Amino acid sequence: MKKKIMFLLLVSMFSFSLFSEGTKEVTLSTETNSTKSVKNVILLVGDGMSVAQIATTDAFIGAQKGQYLSKLNFEDFNHQGLTSTYAGDRLITDSAAAGTALATGSKTYCGAISVDMNKNELKTILEYAQDKNKSTGIVTSTRVTHATPAVFLSKNIDRNAENEIAMDEAYSGVDFLAGGGYRYFVSKDNEKGLASKRTDGIDLIKEMEKAGYRSFISEEETIDFLNYKPKAGEKIVGLFSYSHLDYAIDDANQPTLAQMTDKALESLSYDNDGFFLMVEGGRIDHACHANDAVTAIEDTLAFEDAVQVAIDFYNKNPNDTLVIVTGDHETGGLTLGFAGTHYESAYEQLQNQKISYEKYGSQYFADYKKSHSISNCNLSDLENDLNYYFGLNNLNDEERTSLQNALKRSVAGEVITGTQESDYLLYGGYEPFIMEITHILNKRAGVAFTSYSHTAVPVATFAIGNGSEKVNGMFDNTDIFNFMLEAMDSTN
């Protein structure tokens, strides 16, 4: 057991030293006295982002530049470490337990929203910041009621109680809240006619407006939000989609993670007492669950853009700001290598994918499915799609066969031979045809996923600013809470 952990540690440390020369210029201000407290703490969490998600993105960008690896901006941070992520009740954590560890410093069971193993409420880093009269902000690309944002603003024994979580969030006193998921905030009879999942008739947006929030709700108000100049002391809520925001690769009419981060910093930095801001790149995880490497890479790059906004802020306020970048757990058991390609990699195979598995499924393949049956579905109907949307052409016989089989299963609504377990290993409960497309792309590139779930591989953590020197070596996700609290607490 110990040997295995050491091995992982060595592999990961080795990977840090393997980077080719950085091509993205990241200028970091020189740090000053590290015992000073910081006014501002910015925590950026890539959901499902571990060393492999970072390295795959490095390889993808590297391939575009004719080199093996490139480097994401936060890989240049001067303090780095590896972080264990286990939950209170399981080696492999979920986002709720992992988020609770980051937000409260406590281990808990999977599914818990900032309550402990005995379901007692825990105090969050955001509440500690509020105690110090700091402003607070939460930005995410998922529904704001999803586990990672929820643990900072809510206490609940069940991550799925999103109606209750939204209620907590509306009354949390948070100064800036942006992401997706208006469905738990607007009432069913709202004037804009937006779809709602609120079960109690209360319109939380109206309640928040009464409490002084300026609101931007639905994609329709994206431009207003982007053009808006935040005022000192004004609270802002922006919820730009019914559920999660779209994947970065799908280019929706929604603010990017970087744009929301920028607006958050503009708004929160009015506070002379400083602020706490958590930014989540929440859908790297979802793409990895679905084994869609390119979509995960594009969301990792969108996350990097948000980190750049934090770096720019840090460079203007180097003595006052701590920036920590981490992941909450690994998703998908992603790795850079595949038995079928032996030692070879071919990341150029991934360069021509234009949309996510999700968008292809809902906007293109759904229609085909509806209008075809097992007797008349044919792979040749969809080959143009495969080429155009995924850059998948020159199919060999094996690829053709597996795609045709998967297509039949999709069109049939998935009732074919094989035990359930073997079906799960093949498609993980996703649309068979679309999973086959991503699997073929992965195999061609030499990228592999071992799971449709999370894994216990440690995540990497990066930090700059006062207090960042504690981010060093191997530590636990609960320690990150302590690093942030100590940085806000320590006095001159």
Tell me, residue by residue from 323 to 352, as one string, x for binding to Zn ion by CB under 5 A and - for no binding: -----x------------------------
Specify the amino acid at residue 367. D
**Residue number with CB closer to Zn ion (280 or 320):** 280
Choose one: 8-16, 41-49, 59-67, 309-317; the region binding Zn ion (CB under 5 A): 41-49
**In the bound complex, what is the minimum distance in angstroms from residue 456's beta carbon to Zn ion?**
13
- Comparison of 454 and 470: residue with beta carbon closer to Zn ion: 454
Non-local (6+) Cβ contacts of 401 within 8 A are none
Binding mask 438-477 toward Zn ion (x if CB under 5 A, else -) reads ----------------------------------------
Mark the segment that binds Zn ion (CB under 5 A) among 44-52, 135-143, 390-398, 430-438.
Answer: 44-52
Closest CA to 86 of 454, 442, 490: 454
Q: How many residues bind Zn ion (CB under 5 A)?
A: 4
Which positions from 75 to 114 touch Zn ion by CB under 5 A, shown as an x/- string?
--------------------x-------------------
Show the binding pattern over residues 285-324: x = contacts Zn ion (CB under 5 A), - = does not: x---------------------------------------
Nearest to 51 by CA among 96, 89, 19, 99: 19
Shortest distance (Å) from residue 260 CB to Zn ion: 19
Q: Least distance (Å) from Zn ion to the CB of residue 19?
A: 26
Distance CA 485, CA 334 (A): 32
Question: For residues 410 and 461, which CB has a smaller minimum distance to Zn ion in the complex?
Answer: 461
Q: Which residue's CB is nearer to Zn ion, number 162 or number 285? A: 285
Segment holding 276, helix H or strand E: strand 275-281
Residue 218 Rama label (left phi>0; alpha psi -120 to 50; beta): left
Which DSSP helix (H) or strand (E) runs through 456? none
Name which of 83 and 95 has its Cβ closer to Zn ion.
95
| Residue 81 β-bridge partners | 461, 473
Instruction: Pick the piece of the chain touching Zn ion (CB under 5 A) from 83-91, 163-171, 282-290, 457-465.
Output: 282-290
Determine the interface stretch with Zn ion among 17-25, 58-66, 155-163, 279-287 (rule: CB under 5 A).
279-287
Stretch that binds Zn ion, among 2-10, 168-176, 238-246, 284-292 (CB under 5 A): 284-292
> Cα angle vertex 411, ends 408, 412, to 5°?
80
Among residues 473, 165, 448, 233, which one has the least CA distance to residue 332? 448
When binding is defined by CB under 5 A, the residue of 39, 44, 45, 47 that contacts Zn ion is: 47
Task: Tell me how far apart the alpha carbons of residues 24 and 461 are, in angstroms, rounded to a whole number.
Answer: 19
Q: Which stretch binds Zn ion (CB under 5 A): 117-125, 280-288, 381-389, 393-401?
A: 280-288
Rounded to the nearest 5 percent, the helix, strand and coil shares of the chain are 45, 15, 40
Burial class (CB in 10 A: 0-12, 13-18, 19+), 275: buried
Among residues 49 and 440, whose Cβ is nearest to Zn ion? 49
The nearest distance, CB 279 to Zn ion, in angstroms, is 14
- State the nearest-atom distance from the C-beta of 147 to Zn ion, in Å: 7
Q: Which is nearer to Zn ion, 341 or 451 (CB)?
A: 451
Give 280 or 479: the residue with its C-beta nearer to Zn ion: 280
Phi, psi of 272 (to 5 degrees): -70, -20
- Exposure b/e, 91-120, CB count within 10 A at least 16 = b: ebbbbbbbbbbbbbbbbbbbbbbbbbeeee
Could you tell me the smallest distance in angstroms from the CB atom of residue 93 to Zn ion? 8
Answer yes or no: are the C-beta atoms of 62 and 352 closer than 8 Å.
no
Nearest residue relative to Zn ion (C-beta): 95
Least distance from Zn ion to the Cβ atom of residue 122, Å: 18
Distance CA 267, CA 290 (A): 35
Question: Closer CB to Zn ion, residue 286 or residue 444?
Answer: 286
Q: Are 204 and 170 in contact (CB under 8 A)?
A: yes
Name which of 147 and 392 has its Cβ closer to Zn ion: 147
- Minimal distance in Å, beta carbon 454 to Zn ion? 7
Q: Of the listed pieces 40-48, 68-76, 134-142, 470-478, which binds Zn ion according to CB under 5 A?
A: 40-48
Under 8 Å CB-to-CB from 197, ≥6 apart: which residues? 162, 163, 183, 184
300 contacts 284 by C-beta, under 8 angstroms: yes
Query: Least separation, in Å, of the C-beta of 453 and Zn ion?
Result: 11
Instruction: Select from 448, 410, 411, 443 the least CA-distant residue to 429.
Output: 410
Walk across the sheet containing 321-327 and list its strands: 213-217, 235-239, 176-180, 135-143, 275-281, 40-46, 321-327, 459-465, 79-84, 473-476
Binding to Zn ion (CB under 5 A) within 156-175 occurs at none
Site residues, Zn ion (CB under 5 A) = 47, 95, 285, 328
